[in-house]
Copies of this chain bind each other. A is one copy, B any other.
Amino acid sequence: MWFNQHTMSALASFQALARECNSIQTTAATLGWDQETYMPQEAGRFRAEQLSWLSARSHELATSGRWRDLLEQALAETGEADGTARRDLLEMKRRFELATKLPVELVARDTQSSSLAKRAWADARKANDFSRFLPHLQALVDINREKAELWGYAEEPYDALLACFERGSSTARLTEEFDILRPALAEIAKAAVEHSQSRYRPLPAGPYPISAQQAFNEKIARDIGYSFTSGRIDTTTHPFCTTLGPRDVRLTTRYDESDFCSSLFGVLHEAGHGMYEQGLPQEHPGMASCDAVSLGIHESQSRLWENHVGRSRAFWEKWYPVACDHFPQLQGHSLDDFMTHVHQVEFTPIRVESDEATYDLHILLRFELERGMFRRDFSLADLPAVWDESFEKLFGFRPQDPAHGCLQDIHWSMGAYGYFPTYTLGNLNASQLMHTAMKQPDLARAFDRADYAPLLQWLRQHIHQQGALYDPAELMEMATGLKPQARFHLEYLRGRYVG
């Protein structure tokens, strides 16, 4: 193609640059996907070189003078009036500033520290010895405090970290929301555990063959609207969803031959992420208007399909007979009995093993501790004790050791502070979106016969197609007519789990 650069608008030129950057980043995503799925064992070392070259190129481009200049020119060109192009560019500018406010030296130190910390954490967790991780935690908290100072914040450093993952959120707002949640959730969880224990009927014994699980999962993923002409499902140790290009959004799951629900709910969760990515506008890859807005909105989509849809009675009225065809040992085990498995609730010290009725308690704990770290409310050396004490207040028992306590999650070793709260924001958003969507009589009737086309259509219009043009809280208010709030999630949990 031959065209004269000077005849293009600054906006079009900037979009072309953003597209180029997106092309590099999705190339890296493709290599990352391959690394987790099919890459032969010995290829890892060179793969790291390939990925690091790509990451250097996309960083170079997205922090370049050319990027800044075209962005400024495009902004000048669009004028002051609030419109899609202007919102798109302003969000790109916010991202540019996040990326360029940190000096190269700090970024390098950050990368190196978290790389060392990740190894130290794995080691510490294995040895059940917090002291091995402590110096790394200290270094990363210090670095993140530095980053927060450079990025700037309204009230406290933790605000700046939160805003990395959830644009427009603040410590104060989250504290307020989570303070409402805490006692209500603790009460719901306690009642839910009792209710579940009194009714629970175990799943018939396996094996549930992997090939049958794959066929069953694919049928369901296709039926709820995940596109296999722009996606696929592979197998990995840790399930994920990744975007390799505008029409290439892939999921992974893992299989447990003793419980087909494990892979299925993984697929529903990742397909929720995947349908969000598949539903984003596709015109200008790399621009905010074609990108997901935040982790809290992303997680709302995965939780909605995993829990609101996948654990509903209507869903299983349609799919349980199909499950019985795929897994003959289910025959004779009633739908009612099966639903006690889908709704099983238990207290566990481990976040990733917990169910939706207790999950958010794990998050509230982490939020409280992260906020405390950055406020210097306690010495980091005391983290295990502070964790155990706070955990006991919420759950009524103490974890047996640090591996089941403050060493269980990888996030802090990766330098991700302010990430955890987005999981609960996802749950709150999902419940509020479902509450609103179900007010549409046609959509609700379709939901009751496990036809999800109207629900997906509604999400496409109100969430997916909006890209990252609005702050998550604005987006939620536009979609639901109300500010984001906790009560819908509490209502949902009570309705489902408190007998």
Contacts and interface: CB of A to CB of B under 8 A. Distances in A.
Contacts of A45: 247
Interface string A268-283: 0000000000000000
B24 A248 contact: no
Contacts of A247: 40, 42-43, 45-46
Interface stretch (A173-181, A224-232, A297-305): A224-232
Contacts of A40: 227-232, 247-248, 250
B39 A248 contact: yes
Contact of A230 (B30, B41, B50): B41
B230 A23 contact: no
Contact of A26 (B23, B46, B246, B248): B46
Nearest to A34: B30
A402 B234 CA distance: 43
Nearest to A43: B248
A13 interface: no
A57 B24 CA distance: 11
Contacts of A38: 38, 232, 234
A19 B50 CA distance: 10
B34 A46 contact: no
A20 B50 CA distance: 8
Nearest to A54: B27
A47 interface: yes
A229 B23 contact: no
A152 to B, nearest CB: 30
Interface in A31-86: 31, 34, 38-43, 45-47, 49-50, 53-54, 57
Contacts of A426: none
A415 interface: no
Interface in A270-317: 285
A245 interface: yes
A230 B43 contact: yes
27 contacts: A19-B49, A20-B53, A23-B46, A23-B50, A24-B53, A27-B27, A27-B31, A27-B50, A30-B34, A39-B248, A40-B229, A40-B230, A40-B231, A40-B247, A40-B248, A40-B250, A41-B230, A42-B248, A43-B230, A43-B244, A43-B245, A45-B247, A46-B248, A46-B285, A47-B245, A47-B248, A50-B245
Interface of A: 19-20, 23-24, 26-27, 30-31, 34, 38-43, 45-47, 49-50, 53-54, 57, 227-232, 234, 244-248, 250, 285
Q: Which 10 residue pairs of A and B lie closest in terms of their CB atoms, listed nearest first?
A: A43-B248, A42-B247, A46-B245, A42-B230, A41-B229, A27-B50, A23-B50, A42-B229, A40-B230, A43-B247
